[in-house]
Amino acid sequence: MFLTGDFEKLDLSRAVEAKYQRNSVARINDELSALTENCLSLSEANERCRRVGGTAFPAQGMFGTFRTDAGDVDYDRPVALVEAMSDDLTEVPAVNIHKPFSGALVDNSAEILDGLYFPDQQGREILEQIETALSAGKHILLTGPPGTGKTEIAERVSAHLARNHPYLFSGYEMTTATADWSTFDTVGGYMPNESDDSGENLSFNPGIVLNRLKRTNSGVQSNELTIIDELNRADIDKAFGQLFTLLSGQSVQLPYTVDGREVELTTYDDVSGIPDPNQYVVPNSWRIFATMNAYDKTSLYEMSYAFMRRFAFVRVPAPTIDDSTEKRKDPATDLVHNYAEAWDIQASQREVDVVGKVWRKANSAVKERSIGPAIIEDVLEYVSQHPEDRLGHHLTQATISYIFPQLEGVPKRKTIVQEIQKVPDIDQDLLAQAAQEMLQIPITEDA
C-alpha cells in the first residue's frame, strides 16, 4: 500500500470511534489532513487525464473505473496519475499491527474443511478450539497421531485468515522443523554481504520467524502467519532462544546490529509508527501454528513452561474404530466408505472392506498407538488403482509403503504387524519379509 500523506501522524492503535470519543472531531480531521497530504487536486487530476486520454478523471462516485470510449479498461490515465504523485508516494504496511483478531472460523467450517471428512462434527469442534485460542491471543499447537490432518488444518485455517482478514494478515508461510535448527534459523544471524565478493563484510540476515514480520525486499512491516510442521523434531530451547521472551509478550534486543543499531524484537505496544530498520515488530494478531506428533512425548516435556503457556494445545485424534467381533459387518467398512466419498476415490466395496480391516487392526493392536485417515487415503488410493484380481498383493504393498514408515521406532511395532497379518487378504510372507528389512522385527518370534 502506498500513501502520499504523512503516515507518522496517524494513530493506528485506536479505532475512529475511540478517537472521536476521546479527542473529538478535531483529532480525526488532523489525521485525515495528514493522510491526504500531497494528493493531486481534482482539477490537476482532470487536466492530466485529459492530456493522455482525452477524458477527465472518473469522479462519478466513491469508486470509479477507468475505461476508454470503446468500453475497454484504460491504463493510460491511472498511470499518468501515479507518475504525477510518484515523488510523494511512500510504501506503508497494509496490515494493522495493533488490531486484535476477531473473527469466526466455525461459521465458515464448510469452506475451510471442504473435501475433508471428520466424523461426529469433530472438524467443527477443532475449528471452535482454534477460534477460541486465536481470540484469546494464544498460538496453536495441533497434536495427534500421524495422518490425522494436523498440517492440512493449519494450512487451511491460515489461508482462510489471510484471505478474509487482509487488514490483519499479509499471508502465511509453512516450514518444517529439523533437529539442526538453532536461533540462526528461526531468528537470524550474521552472514556475508551478498554485494561483497570477498565475503569479509557481514550483515544481519533475518531467520524464518523474523522474515514473517518484515518484507525482505522493501523492509515494510508484514504479518505472515507461521506454520511450523513437526515441531517435535526441533530442540525447542536451542531453536527458539530469544523468542521465548517475545512469545511471553515482552520486547527483546538481539546481539546483532543493523545500521549501527541493535536489532530489536518489539511488541506492537512499543511501536506507534513505521518500524525502524533495526526493529522487527510482532503484530497483535500474529500467530504460530505448530504441529506435533502426539507420540513424541519426550519433545513435549522438554518444552519450558514459558513456551507451553503461550500455546493452546488442540487435539486432532484418529477416529475411533469399534473392534467388536460380534457384528457381522466390520465397523471400519462404513468409516472408510465415508472417507472415500470425501476423498472422491472410486473404490469397490471389496477394496473398501479390506482397507478398513487393515486400518482397524493397525489401530486396535496397541491402545496407545494409532494412525490417522490421511495414511489410509494413500493406501486406498494405491489399491483402487490396481486390478482387483491381485488385491491381496497390492494391499500388502500399500501397507508396507504407507503404514510401515509410521511404525519405525515404535516399541510394540511387532504386535501391530502381527495383527495386520491376520487380515485374510494380506500376503503374510511379503509382509514378514518387509517387516524384517524395514522395521528390524522377525515376525516368526514370539511377540
* Model pLDDT for residues 336-390, shown as the tens digit of each residue: 998 999 899 999 999 999 999 999 999 988 887 889 999 999 999 999 999 888 9
pLDDT digits (tens, 9 = 90+) for 433-442: 999 999 998 8
Q: Do 60 and 26 contact (CB within 8 A), yes or no? A: no
pLDDT digits (tens, 9 = 90+) for 199-233: 577 899 999 999 999 998 888 999 999 999 998 88
Kindly state whether residues 168 and 291 are assigned to the same domain.
Answer: yes
Kindly state whether residues 296 and 248 are assigned to the same domain.
Answer: yes
Kindly state whether residues 48 and 185 are assigned to the same domain.
Answer: no
The 3-class SS string of 140-157 reads: EEEEECCCCCHHHHHHHH
Kindly state whether residues 72 and 113 are assigned to the same domain.
Answer: no
Domain stops at, among 253, 288, 315: 315
pLDDT bin (cut points 50, 70, 90) of residue 447 is very low
| pLDDT at site 50 | 94
Collapsing DSSP states into helix, strand and coil, what is residue 435?
helix
In a domain, 25, yes or no: yes
Kindly state whether residues 28 and 134 are assigned to the same domain.
Answer: no
Kindly state whether residues 116 and 85 are assigned to the same domain.
Answer: no
In a domain, 99, yes or no: no
In a domain, 100, yes or no: no
Domain stops at, among 68, 91, 114: 91
Kindly state whether residues 228 and 129 are assigned to the same domain.
Answer: yes
pLDDT digits (tens, 9 = 90+) for 358-367: 999 999 888 8
| pLDDT at site 446 | 47
Name the residue type at position 80.
A
Residue 190: closest CA among 180, 204, 179, 207: 204
Residue 284: closest CA among 135, 159, 104, 80: 135
Residue 411: closest CA among 357, 358, 365, 355: 365
Q: Do 406 and 416 contact (CB within 8 A), yes or no? A: no
Kindly state whether residues 59 and 13 are assigned to the same domain.
Answer: yes
Kindly state whether residues 257 and 367 are assigned to the same domain.
Answer: no
> What is the grid cell recorded at 42?
481534482
Beta bridge partners of 225: 172
Structural domain of residue 210, as residue ranges? 106-315
In a domain, 325, yes or no: no
In a domain, 447, yes or no: no
CATH code for the domain in which residue 155 is found = 3.40.50.300
Measure the CA–CA gap between 38 and 420, rounded to whole angstroms: 74
Q: What's the rounded mean pLDDT across residues 265-277?
A: 88
Q: What's the rounded mean pLDDT across residues 245-253?
A: 85
In a domain, 297, yes or no: yes
- The count of structural domains within the chain is 3
